[in-house]
Amino acid sequence: MMERTLSIIKPDAVGKGVIGQIITRFEEAGLNILGMKMVHLSKTQAKEFYAEHEGRSYFDGLTEFMTIGPSVVMVLGGEDVIKKSRALMGATNSPEAADGTIRREFGTDGRRNAVHGSDSPETAVREISYFFDASELVGGT
C-alpha cells in the first residue's frame, strides 16, 4: 500500500551533523522524500506534536529535548513506508536498537534517539498536517 509518513531528524542528530547520513539511509532503502523543512520547535509546538504522550513521566523531558535546537521534518512516501521507516529507525531505546539501525548508530539513549517516525496511517495524517500544507508536498496541489 502506498503511504506517507512524518519523519523527524531530532535536535540531537542535527547537532551531531548527521542529517545527510540519515537521509541517505532512507533514500537508499527506496523511500522518497516528498517534503522537507528545518524547524526549531517551541515548547508549545513540541507539546502539541507529542500530545498523545501527555501525562507520561517522560513528557516534560521529551518536549524540552525537542526544543534544544532545530529539527528536520520530512514527509516520506512509498510502499509500506510507515513500517519500513520504523524498521530503519530501530527500537526507541538507542543502545537496545538492532545493529545497523539509525537509532543504534546515531542515537544516545531512550530520549535522544535521533529520529521520529509516525506509528500508524492515522497518526501519519495528523503529524504530516501539523507541519505541511498539501501544496508543500510532491504530488500535492
Q: Which residues bind ligand CDP (CB under 6 A)?
A: 58, 61-62, 92, 110-111, 113, 116, 119
Say which residues have a Cβ less than 8 Å from residue 120's Cβ, sequence separation at least 6.
82
DSSP SS3 for 63: helix
Is 40 catalytic? The answer is no
- Residue with Cβ nearer ligand CDP (10 or 36): 10
- What's the residue count for the chain? 141
DSSP SS3 for 12: helix
Which residue is it, cell 514527509?
75
Is 127 catalytic? The answer is yes
- Residue with Cβ nearer ligand CDP (54 or 133): 54
Minimum CB separation from Mg ion for residue 123, in Å? 8
Is 53 catalytic? The answer is no
Catalytic positions: 10, 50, 113, 116, 127
